[in-house]
Structure 1
Amino acid sequence: MIRLLQQQDLEEAANIAAFAYPGMNIQTSEKKTEFVGRLKKELEEQNGIQYFGYFNEKEQLLGMYRQHDFECNINGTFQRIFGIGMVAVHLLHKKEKIAFELLSHFHDFARQQNVSLVSLYPFNPSFYRKMGYGYGPMKYEFKIKPNALIANGEKGLVKFLSPQDEEAIVSLYNDYAQKNHGMIKRTWTERQRIKNGVTNYVGVIENEQLVGALAFTLESVQDSHFLHQHMIVHEWIWTKPDAYKQLASWLHSQQDQVDRIIFRTNDQSFVHALTNPLNDSNHLIPSVYHEVATTGTGLMYRITNIIDFIHEMNFQPLRKPDEYTRIVLEIEDTFLPKQNGLYEVIYNDNLWSATKLSNSTEKENIKIGIPDISSWWMGCVSIEALYNYGTVSINNVDTKILDDWFKPNRSPICFTSY
């Protein structure tokens, strides 16, 4: 049985999480008590967070997950999506398909709530790809010298912000999210971090309005002296180019105290804003390509309802066909079998619509797995690339036209961790 966790379940939930995620450092009784207190607070608040647990017939908790209710910019329009985190199984009950049951419950719950897109950060990407999740945007970790940033802004306009500026920071963040595909509106958890001063914030105020902000911490360089430190930039947002330039100039001025600025971003074009993008690896990729960033895959997406996703998104503001168009999709979704099969996708009168076909023998135009269509429709990969790598089959339709109709023009960006 899977149900919402109650107050009396939280201590056992902490025990399961302690073994599943040793890096959380909640093994001691004191740390577990702190963690239980955090869970209690999350259960009491109206925060879009719920915890579900898997119980056996004796009402013993054997597994759990955390469900997040987000508003995400999907190609220019905020839509409700779910995120899943803290998937954990009791150490004595591994390989009993408990994780399978938890993920199945999560997907069914999303469908019941008319949520057609879900996401997660994987402990193992291949494990979740088997469950239908497609790769999301790549993340690039730059480690640059402060003087690599172009200093053509007025750094004197940069001021320290405090927890009292929470609403201004949130308003700026949500404005940035409105302009960027993939961004999630500021969450309750992120607000708590601002309130508690977890990071330092600086910002640029123009006409009494915050137009740029940067969150950072200073970190000592491992195995070096106490004056040797890096600056970790956790968040960098702006609504106008001048605000970016002013914050970049402020970072440039930190070169007497900071060795490297570490900035993690989904935007590979950041390299073009630097006079010297090289990191500290001194690594050369043949023939002569200097390493500028390390790259990782993390965030993954999954469509849980093909028909609803098409109707909600309508693939705005992408190019539309010039006339009535009909495409037959064959979706392979073995983890969520009710999605497996043929779909008729029609464009007519400025609208895309979809219907699941039953017992049809007609030839499909596109044969694609649910991980790949999730990545494609979120703008993380083109169907042209998928076709070239042989992971999809295409019949009687041009891949470039399909990308014009269905692929967002920009890969998503996302700052939200969960």
Structure 2
Amino acid sequence: MGEIKKIPTVDIMNMVEIVNNAYPAFPFNTEEEKKKIHEKLMKNQEENDFVNFYGYYEDGEMRGSMRLHDYTMNMLSNEVKVGGIGLVAVDLLHKKKKIAKRMLEFYLDHYKKRGTNLVMLYPFRPDFYKKMGFGFGTKMEQYKLLPKEFPNRGSKDHIVYVTNEDKQRLHTCYEQFVRQHHGMLYKTPFELDSIFNKPENKIIAFKKDGKIEGYVIFTFKRANESNFGINDIHVHEFVYLHSEALGELLTFFHSQADQINRIVINTQDEHFHFLFDDARNGTDVMIPPVYHETNIAGVGIMYRVIDVEGIFLDLQNHTFGKETCTVKFTIEDTFFPSNNQETVVHFANGKPTVHRDHDEFDVELKMDISYFSSLLMGSMTFDKLVTYGLADISDQRYTSTINQLFLTNKKPICMSLF
């Protein structure tokens, strides 16, 4: 049996090799590229308390590695500590030894001990992490739009370039956006600096009265490798605090029609297509009977509650609708047994209180931890879980009540990559 420990500085290059073999598409195959990523990871480890690298060791040799991230999320208008994980990799010679499973167990236990009750990740394979209790978040939709299809709202008088001098203004804007949107993560100083440290990034903003109230981070990419004159804009971050800022940013995109082929935007806004008269993506695919392809979509970000009682304590100031009832949650969590428990919560006009007495309740809900996590985050509704046979309820008369408890005005969104 191996051990998992924080990776010492001398072993960071070993981590680079393991990650490089696990993810061949990552751009660090040459010695020079490996040196650069090594320096970046070293800097990350040494200067950021909120990012930590851990390795799985056997016989003194690193067999696997992962990166843990400490974040704060706006969860239903409450600031909640969450844990992220990335760069999960196992040495090619030591796969199928359950090393990844042990690292994930360590990850959950690590945050449980810190009093963090929710974790999240981007899955390299959704089914792998679904079996470990992670539930799906909001889908990501990718649009490839002609610039002329962006509405021209008549003005872009407040659109300016953003420079390093505007870093704090941009950060203030982003944090206001976080407070407006459930699921968003606050940026770490490292993430903020990274925006300005990438020379390929172009940043424009809506700036009024000295304040940034919306911005776009994008890069140019050739649409045709044989023709340098045909380029796309790839949008990496699109933030706006109100419709005036949105309108001028849309007008900016509209004005690029003479030079830009298409504008590629990834968004979790399910209503995004309403902005355009023609949101088709150029494939000319027709979905029967007569539906025009506008975008492609995929599952990505996944959430996991690691302490059911703890997460309700985190959300004790949140109002779950206006319902009053006492609910027994019987959650199945076979991967993380300490969370395989019964929890009774009394909702008084939506305000939750955890009860120690498990014998008195109005209705009992039974479901897997993955579905409970999606339900709590608002990416899935309770009535659909029941309809799909993914949740059981002891008294069908309470189905609507439970559905109202967990309905959210907005599905969770996440712009952070980790």
On whether the aligned pair clears a TM of 0.5, the verdict is yes
- Deviation at 1:30? 2.0
In structure 2, the residue matched to 1:401 is 401
Aligned residues: 414
- Deviation at 1:12? 1.1
In structure 2, the residue matched to 1:337 is 337
Check conservation: 2:364, 2:393, Cα contact below 8 A: yes
- Deviation at 1:302? 0.2
**Equivalents in 1 of 2:183, 2:415: separation in Å?**
9
Check conservation: 1:234, 1:264, Cα contact below 8 A: yes
Are 2:215 and 1:225 aligned? no
- Deviation at 1:226? 1.6
Check conservation: 1:48, 1:68, Cα contact below 8 A: yes
Are 2:241 and 1:239 aligned? yes
In structure 2, the residue matched to 1:83 is 84
Check conservation: 1:72, 1:184, Cα contact below 8 A: yes
**Equivalents in 1 of 2:192, 2:360: separation in Å?**
53
In structure 1, the residue matched to 2:176 is 175
Moved more, 230-239 or 103-112: 230-239
Are 2:418 and 1:415 aligned? no
In structure 2, the residue matched to 1:127 is 128
1:28-107 matched pairs, under 5 angstroms: 28-56=30-58, 58-107=59-108
In structure 1, the residue matched to 2:311 is 309
- SS of the equivalent of 2:143 reads strand
In structure 1, the residue matched to 2:382 is 383
- Deviation at 1:364? 6.7
CA displacement 1:23-75 (0-9 Å, x = unmatched): 1132322222222111110111135100111111x221111110001111101
Relative distance call for 1:273 and 1:244 in structure 2 (3 A) is same
TM-score (norm 1): 0.95
**Equivalents in 2 of 1:256, 1:283: separation in Å?**
26
Unmatched tracts of structure 1, length 5 or more: none
Root-mean-square deviation over aligned CA pairs:
1.9
1:194-273 matched pairs, under 5 angstroms: 194-197=195-198, 198-273=200-275
Relative distance call for 1:346 and 1:290 in structure 2 (3 A) is same
TM-score (norm 2): 0.95
**Equivalents in 1 of 2:361, 2:193: separation in Å?**
54
- Deviation at 1:224? 4.6
Check conservation: 2:237, 2:415, Cα contact below 8 A: yes
- Deviation at 1:392? 1.0
- Deviation at 1:355? 5.1
- SS of the equivalent of 2:19 reads helix
Check conservation: 2:319, 2:351, Cα contact below 8 A: no
Relative distance call for 1:100 and 1:357 in structure 2 (3 A) is farther
**Equivalents in 2 of 1:265, 1:18: separation in Å?**
29
**Equivalents in 2 of 1:242, 1:147: separation in Å?**
19
In structure 2, the residue matched to 1:159 is 160
Unmatched tracts of structure 2, length 5 or more: none
- SS of the equivalent of 1:172 reads helix
**Equivalents in 2 of 1:88, 1:10: separation in Å?**
13
Relative distance call for 1:254 and 1:393 in structure 2 (3 A) is same
**Equivalents in 1 of 2:348, 2:250: separation in Å?**
48
Relative distance call for 1:339 and 1:35 in structure 2 (3 A) is same
- Deviation at 1:121? 0.2
Paired AA for residue 284 in structure 1: M
Check conservation: 1:341, 1:356, Cα contact below 8 A: no
Check conservation: 1:137, 1:412, Cα contact below 8 A: yes
Relative distance call for 1:18 and 1:148 in structure 2 (3 A) is same
**Equivalents in 2 of 1:245, 1:124: separation in Å?**
38
**Equivalents in 2 of 1:19, 1:357: separation in Å?**
51
Check conservation: 1:303, 1:370, Cα contact below 8 A: yes
Check conservation: 1:238, 1:244, Cα contact below 8 A: yes
CA displacement 1:169-190 (0-9 Å, x = unmatched): 1111111011000111122342
